[in-house]
Amino acid sequence: MSIKEHPPLHVPVLLQDVLTLLQPQSDESYLDLTAGYGGHAREILGITSNYTESTLVDRDEYATRTLGDLQDKGVQVMHTDFLTAAKQLVQDGKHYSLILLDLGVSSPQLDIPERGFSFTKSGPLDMRMDQRQAQSAHTLIDTANRTTLIHLIHEYGEEPKRIAERYADAIIAARPLETTGELAEAIRLAHVGKWQKTHPATRTFQAFRIAINDELHQVRELMPLLPKLLKKGGRVGIISFHSLEDRIVKRYFTEQRDAGYESELDVLTKKPIAGHTHDVHNPRARSAKLRAAVKK
């Protein structure tokens, strides 16, 4: 499938739990900071019917392009990263009843080889969510020194140091690497022992993806802006897909809980709601975690 063809379906993760926790009501305003193909957004806007006070953000133009029908109904669509968008919306004095952040990559990003996120379907080493960005995975992987590669695979891929060193050496020996298939194969050859369900390159791909898209910095800096964007009584839901993201959200919510009378949010989820392991239609859901809070 090429990017120019109609994008494959993205099934919204934890949709029912999002609706139960956020309780969208008729006429409420909605901010979706990772609108993607609009799976959650269409459901929520279908309940609120408030298009003109709602905003959808995504840094992926292939995604925002599919939101034209909602834009025609008066929704503001922003093609930018959510940190830039949030800063702009705070500056504009905007406040919302509902905010959703559904982190990570969409199924079309993973499924279309040209996007360069997939190790099972070989494509160029790209991994940029936003095509306007200068640096792609190719430049990073081809030019990074050993220390940087080890750091990325260990910190962002959460591989043990010893494995990160082995994979970094394998990458350096195999350079220049042009495709995701070549990168996956270099890691597979360096991997020691058997593997079953999870390809040994999974976490290394995660590491480069996080680095290229500056993902953790985006989430970390966004957190304190969320209460500023919520109306009193407004709800925010955050879905994360790996422990590095979830840790940032959890820490921020814990700080809020511990801040006593100075806190701006009440946490609605003592423990995160976990993705459904039995969801065969949506394997992405397996690692999902949902946390939510309400503005005091």
Ligand X SMILES: C[S@@+](CC[C@H](N)C(=O)[O-])C[C@H]1O[C@@H](n2cnc3c(N)ncnc32)[C@H](O)[C@@H]1O
Residues that bind ligand X (CB under 6 A): 10, 12, 34, 36-40, 57-60, 63, 81-82, 102, 104-106, 129, 218
Q: How far is the CB of 3 from ligand X (least distance, A)?
A: 13
Q: Residue 37: which of 8, 79, 15, 66 has the closest Cα?
A: 66
Q: How far is the CB of 222 from ligand X (least distance, A)?
A: 8
CB-wise, 77 or 163, nearer to ligand X? 77
Q: How far is the CB of 9 from ligand X (least distance, A)?
A: 9
CB-wise, 17 or 102, nearer to ligand X? 102
CB-wise, 28 or 32, nearer to ligand X? 32
Residue nearest to ligand X (CB): 39
Q: How far is the CB of 64 from ligand X (least distance, A)?
A: 9
Q: How far is the CB of 57 from ligand X (least distance, A)?
A: 6
Q: How far is the CB of 44 from ligand X (least distance, A)?
A: 10
Looking at residue 220, its amino acid is R
CB-wise, 3 or 174, nearer to ligand X? 3
Q: Residue 125: which of 204, 57, 50, 72 has the closest Cα?
A: 204
CB-wise, 77 or 190, nearer to ligand X? 77
CB-wise, 31 or 129, nearer to ligand X? 129
Q: Residue 210: which of 175, 183, 245 has the closest Cα?
A: 245
CA distance to 115, 131, 210, 220, per residue, from 109 (Å): 6, 12, 14, 23
CB-wise, 92 or 258, nearer to ligand X? 92
Q: How far is the CB of 120 from ligand X (least distance, A)?
A: 18
